Amino acid sequence: MSDVRVTPWQDDTLPAPPPELLAGMRGRRPNGELIGIDRVLLRSFPLATGWNELLGRVRAEFDLALEYRELVMLRVAALNGADFEWGVHHPAYLQAGGTEEKAEALGRQSVPDDLFNEEERALLALTDQSTQRVEVEAAVIDELKRLFGEKQTVEAVATVSAYNMVSRFLVALAI
């Protein structure tokens, strides 16, 4: 974290964050250890509060399968060159059921179709179009609705959108 473009919050930094904010952030992390992005977010308590709430829900409360959400998160990280994001989500993807072979493919510019199932290919089409062009073809959304229904289609789009926000924040501040 030595190249981070803002000074990360430290435990002795004043003012101290609200205890409930700090507890919520620690509660989302293994062993309660804050990571680099957390410490930068804590430079703005309103931002850290909203971020923790939004990303906590995306990570833990969506009906879209965690493996699919992590697949999207890895692809966004790869497309945007967000190495920190990749480092956090690579083990999470494997733990959620993804494979190392698929993870490696997600890091390539072009992903081979034959490695991924129909649902994964639809999610990758969404992720690539939304991340690289912002606009997503209607046919991609229609395919997602066919495969996942409208609720999980909304959750898939929200996951792509949220993690594009994450990667852009990480890359801009060199986290």
- Tokens, residue 40: 């930068």
Mean pLDDT of 79-93: 97
The domain limits of the chain are: 19-60, 66-172
Prior bond to 15 cis, omega within 30?
yes
What's the rounded Cα separation, in Å, for the pair 125 and 142?
12
Tally of residues, the chain: 175
Residue 80, CB half-sphere, CA atoms under 13 Å: how many?
29
Per-residue model confidence as pLDDT tens digits over 34-74: 999 999 999 999 999 999 999 999 999 999 999 999 999 99
Is 0.85 topped by the overall pTM?
A: yes
Predicted confidence band at 1 (pLDDT cuts at 50, 70, 90)?
A: low
b/e 95-110 (16+ beta carbons within 10 angstroms → b): eeebeeebbebbeeee
Per-residue model confidence as pLDDT tens digits over 24-37: 999 989 899 999 99
What's the rounded Cα separation, in Å, for the pair 158 and 23?
25
Mean pLDDT of 112-137: 97
Cα–Cα separations (whole angstroms), residue 108 to 24, 75, 96, 104, 123: 35, 9, 21, 7, 16
| CATH number of the 66-172 domain | 1.20.1290.10
